[in-house]
Structure 1
Amino acid sequence: MELLFDHVVVLMLENRSFDHLFGYLGKGEGLPDGGATNYLTPGDPTSTAFHSRRGGDFTAVGQGPSHSLKQTNEQLFGTTHEPASGTAGEPMLDGFVSSFRTSLKFDLKREPTESELQQVMNCFDPVQLPVLSTLARNFVLCDRWFADVPGPTMPNRAFVHAATSQGYTDNASWKPAFTCDTLYDRLNAAKKAWRIYYHDSNDVLELYPNVEKKVGDNVLFEGNFLSDVASDNLATYSFIVPAFMGSPEQPVNSMHAPADVRPAEKLAADVYTALQAHEDVWKKTLFILLFDEHGGYYDHVKPPKTVSPDGIAGRTDQPFLVPFDFQRLGLRVPCILISPWFAPAVDSTVYSHSTIPGSMIEAFGLGSFLTKRDANAAKLTQTYLAKNATRQWRTDTPHVTVPVQPTAIDAMQRELLDGSVYLDPHPENRNALRTRDIQDPQHARQFVRTQVAKHLEHYFASGGNSESAGRLSADNQPATPSVSASRIDELRSSKGKPTEPAIRP
């Protein structure tokens, strides 16, 4: 087989579902018409309803949604005690809010507010993610790419490297020393070059101590990736590990909640623009941008069944672990296949992370597959990696605009932010705990503006009566940073309604 590409570059970011990032993109299968709803008690329409909402949160409250296997079971099935196979019932995907409530109560040491719980159902407006939205619209967006495990980071990263996690469904403090073969073993055996570009943590190095390494197989991303592209020195397979540890010079750019999402946008732009600037390398390089798992954020597509990679059952040797047989996939995550050889398209083939080692092994002739999972996974080989006489080289690939990067909030800004909660017309909302997880000035500015606008709207709707203002609510129009005449009208029409104890939007 003659291949279109000599190099494959994979950037795996963290913890975002397809709907959470691309539900409002207008390309691929985003949110259903009319949106989506979860109830505080799964399946109980008499409990508080939370609807999908256009507008994501740059940072998360607490530590963000839980995405352990146990909590993912609740998100899928409404209960944490689902049988290992998940065959007791079809996933209804109605437990995201309930699961988030559990994790937030632990993080915050108090009952979370409705506005905090809403975060798990919020989905980004494309204008908030200019880099990812541009790439998704202009290249191949896979809208049926699933995590291999309905659980957290480590086992899902294990599947992109080895098509198995050898029974692990939790992060296990990153201590497992896996004994299975990996994609890197296959590349070594075939005398093909590979390189890991890391920022701080390096999951390949940590999880696979037996992989034979050469000088230059593991290098820092800074300086080295751009240099390797510029000098036409990319390996056959490159894997980029984002920054998990934050610093003023290098903020967390993995998108792992609760960190800000914008540094990850910059990382994606850095990889893309480096390739775009060197056409000779760009012509022979496939860039795959994907996410390890859903991070506990809402998605409406039911994960499909799959095959166990090696027959190893999920470990239950810790009290927090629940049974799992590895015969169903995790939730849907974003994946974009990026090359000027590809016209803008949507690919709805069912893929998973095991598609990557399976495709590399098949396309580059690296021998046998690693497990039954990558052997059975749909491959990218014929559709994308093999040469095709009908493909046309594009000269219209877009340039991307990197969003303004977050900066730390200073002491005076913190004081003003905390004070803005006392503008809230509803007394039960006047609590500085609401602002504790706001860390950057842009988020703080939006919050303060919204508080001011909400105060003015209630003032005008109540005729300046503060007691009356506290009883008004606008259930159909959430507060925004700008004063809204239609929201004032809705508030006026709500006069006489009893005050509700919950936090209002």
Structure 2
Amino acid sequence: MTKLLFDHFVVLMLENRSFDHLFGYLGIGDGLSKKGGVNYLKPGDTSSGTFKSSKGGDYTAIGQGPSHSLKQTNEQLFGVTKPSAAVAAATPPLNGFVASFKTSLAYDLKREPTTSELQQVMNAFDPVQLPVLSTLAKNFVLCDRWFADVPGPTMPNRAYVHAATSQGYTYNADWKPKFNCKTLYDRINADPSRSWRSYYHDQDDILELYPYLQKNETNHVPFEGNFVSDVAGDKLATYSFITPAFINSPQHPTNSMHAPADVRPAEKLVADVYGALRSQPAVWKKTLLIIVFDEHGGYFDHVPPPATVSPDGIDGTADPSFLVPFDFKRLGLRVPAILISPWFKPGVDSTVYSHSTIPGSIIDALQLPGGFLTKRDANAAKLTAKYLVDDGTHTWRTTTPDVAAPVQPQPLDPMAREVLNGTVHLDPHPEQRNPLRTQDIQDPAQAKQFMKTQIAKHLEHYFASKGRPKTAAQQSTQNQYASTSVSPSRIAELKASSGPRKREEHP
């Protein structure tokens, strides 16, 4: 049997971020160029309002964040929600992210979103904002052509990492599907020398979706109190899957990165998993850690997804009626993925992978009984030869980076929430005095920035209008966004403005 570098494989699947959204400005891999990406308010219409990718991501999202249903992902890719067969087969122009976000955000906020709110879908994080993921991406193997298996939401994409099919599901279906297909865990069960374990926080994909899977008392355990002790005791299973927390509480915040939640608790989870392995050299030397995201979450990415093979010939379900047709012959958008082991030199891998690469590679490397699960994992590019086989070309690195999770957000207390909401009414534009604008702000630092911006904006309009509220309500700037300090140049531009506002300039 082929000798492998690893006895243990650990997969942490986070949520809903595109490659460009997290790593577009990382400086390695196929990220955003100096020109960046561009979308227009109406797909392809250059006169409808321009939105360019911008360095500086938003820790929390406005509303519920961008939509990522199949229907809305179609609009993000092709500019229409129901592309014809010819359009769907062509290279997507990736021109509908802002238009899609406008639809979902108007529904969430119960009002028309402002320009600066719509800009969120095009923003990309500065590497300093994500110190953990950025450090790991630069020091291990960053995959810049890893795609979701479905151009849609969470559940079907998570099904592919477990079973290389979603059996026709393109939507979450309230997590009710009871799949009867074989999974990676069935293949592992068939080899008595192998084992698997699911570490959950509050949801367990495997338990919910695969009721016919045989399991024992060791297969499903809470992450807290078990993962670190399993690593410390050299008791990791052959294959471990970690599901993050989806429910928020002061003691255990959402750490999945699923919008609109703050991204920093997910950074801490990654740091905790990496730190646990790194602190145990004997285990670290025989363990591969894969960090990957289930789907793009509706955020902009500039790389068109490629065609692929249907896993099992099952077309997308057409019930309920709001679903749109899909044949599973194209992949979803690019997502961040990092292969972490000191056996690997830092680098970028531009091989086209998808989530099905994971079960396909594990089955291939371990030669598990029963073979591949579907045509999707059988045809997916494998990690085996390049990363998993001990062929004598890999050298162990004795130095690996320390990572420190960023300061974690603290929830607002009732008094802080009341004060924050009060600053909404300082807005010089009456239609913006809506408390819905602050309902998604959970972090004190973000609250402070919002409040300072509201005060500065109020004063600028006051000075520019000489204290006349009706005049202030009609003033706007075309060239400068509101910021946390009073700007003389903004006051001058406000004085010069007249008539209906051409662009909202709200924080």
Q: After superposition, what is the alpha-carbon deviation per residue over 1:274-314, rounded to whole angstroms, capped at 9, x for unaligned?
A: 00100110011000001000011111110000011111111
CA contact (8 A) 1:163 1:357 kept: yes
Partner residue of 2:348?
Answer: 346
Shift of 1:396: 2.4
1:6-405 equivalent positions in 2, closer than 5 A: 6-83=7-84, 86-87=87-88, 89-191=90-192, 192-367=194-369, 368-405=371-408
- Asked whether 1:414 is paired with 2:417, we answer yes
1:497 is aligned to 2:497? yes
CA shift in 2, pair 1:166/1:274, >3 Å: same
Which one of 452, 459, 478 corresponds to residue 449 of structure 1? 452
Amino acid at match of 1:12: M
Q: Distance in 1 between matches of 2:284 and 2:250?
A: 32
Q: Distance in 1 between matches of 2:381 and 2:287?
A: 21
1:353-376 superposed Cα distances (whole Å, 9 cap, x missing partner): 000001001111114111111111
CA distance in 2, matches of 1:254, 1:346: 24
Q: Which moved more, 1:286-295 or 1:420-429?
A: 420-429
Aligned with 1:288: secondary structure? strand
Secondary structure, in 3 states, of the residue corresponding to 1:196? strand
Q: State the identity %.
A: 68
- Paired with 1:371 and 1:55, the residues of 2 have a C-alpha distance of 40
Distance 1:159 1:470, change over 3 A: same
Q: Contact 2:255–2:264 (CA<8 Å) still a contact in 1? A: yes
Name whichever of 330-339 and 379-388 sits farther off.
Answer: 379-388
Structure 2 counterpart SS, 1:9: strand
1:425, 1:466 within 8 Å by CA — same for their partners in 2? Answer: no
SS at structure 1 position matched to 2:12 = strand
For the residues of structure 2 that align with 1:84 and 1:200, how far apart are their CA atoms?
Answer: 40
> How far, CA to CA, are the matches of 2:273 and 2:57 in structure 1?
24
Partner letter of residue 178 of structure 1? Answer: F
**Mapped partners of 2:441, 2:423: distance in 1:** 13
Structure 1 residue 105: deviation in Å? 2.1
Aligned to 1:440: 443
Task: Please give the secondary structure, in 2, of the residue aligned with 1:223.
Answer: coil
Gaps of 5+ in 1: none
Number of residue pairs matched?
501
CA contact (8 A) 1:85 1:328 kept: no
Q: One-letter code of the match for 2:191? A: A
Which deviates more, 397-406 or 446-455? 446-455
- Change in 2 beyond 3 A, CA 1:220/1:357: same
The AA in structure 1 aligned to 2:319 is D
2:145 and 2:108 map into 1 onto residues whose CA distance is 32
- One-letter amino acid of the counterpart of residue 345, structure 1: G
Identify the range of structure 1 (283-292 vs 407-416) with the bigger mean alpha-carbon deviation.
407-416
| d(CA) in 2 for partners of 1:85, 1:268 | 41
For residue 290 of structure 1, give the secondary structure of its aligned residue in structure 2: strand
Cα distance in 2, alignment partners of residues 26 and 458 from structure 1:
40
190-199 or 386-395: which moved more? 386-395
Distance change (3 Å), C-alpha of 1:125 and 1:284 = same
Q: 1:295 to 1:472 in 2, by over 3 A?
A: same
Structure 2 portions without partners, runs of 5+: none
Tell which deviates more after alignment, 124-133 or 305-314. 124-133
Aligned 8 A contact 2:199 2:220 in 1 = yes
Task: Give the conservation status (yes or no) of the 8 Å contact 1:144–1:350.
Answer: yes
Partner of 1:222, secondary structure, is: coil
Query: 1:333 deviation in Å?
Result: 0.3
Cα deviation for residue 103 of structure 1 reads: 1.3
Distance 1:472 1:395 in 2: 61
SS in 1 for 2:226: helix
Moved more, 79-88 or 235-244: 79-88
Cα offset for 1:389? 2.4
Give secondary structure in 1 for the equivalent of 2:224.
helix
Is 2:78–2:88's contact at 8 Å kept on the other side of the alignment? no
1:42-99, CA deviations, whole angstroms, 9 ceiling, x for partnerless residues?
1111112222222211111221111110110011001011136853543111111111
Asked whether the equivalents of residues 477 and 503 of structure 2 are also in contact (C-alpha less than 8 Å), the reply is no
Contact 1:22 1:124 in 2 (8 A): yes
The TM-score, its normalising length taken from structure 2, stands at 0.94
Aligned equivalents of 1:490, 1:28: Cα separation in 2: 38
Relative to structure 1, the CA distance from residue 466 to residue 145 in structure 2 (aligned partners, 3 Å threshold; closer, same or farther) is farther
The change in CA–CA distance for 1:466 and 1:360 in structure 2 (over 3 A counts) is: farther
Change (3 A) 1:124 1:479: farther
Aligned residues of 1:472 and 1:491 also touching (Cα < 8 A): no
CA distance in structure 2 between the aligned counterparts of 1:366 and 1:430, rounded to whole angstroms: 61
Q: In structure 2, how many angstroms separate the alpha carbons of the residues matched to 1:147 and 1:269?
A: 23
Q: Distance in 2 between matches of 1:137 and 1:130?
A: 11
- For the structure 1 residues 491 and 134, does the alpha-carbon distance in structure 2 shift closer, same or farther, using more than 3 Å as the test? farther
Q: Matched residues in 1 for 2:12 and 2:486: separation? A: 41
Give the conservation status (yes or no) of the 8 Å contact 1:162–1:183. yes
Distance 1:271 1:489, change over 3 A: same
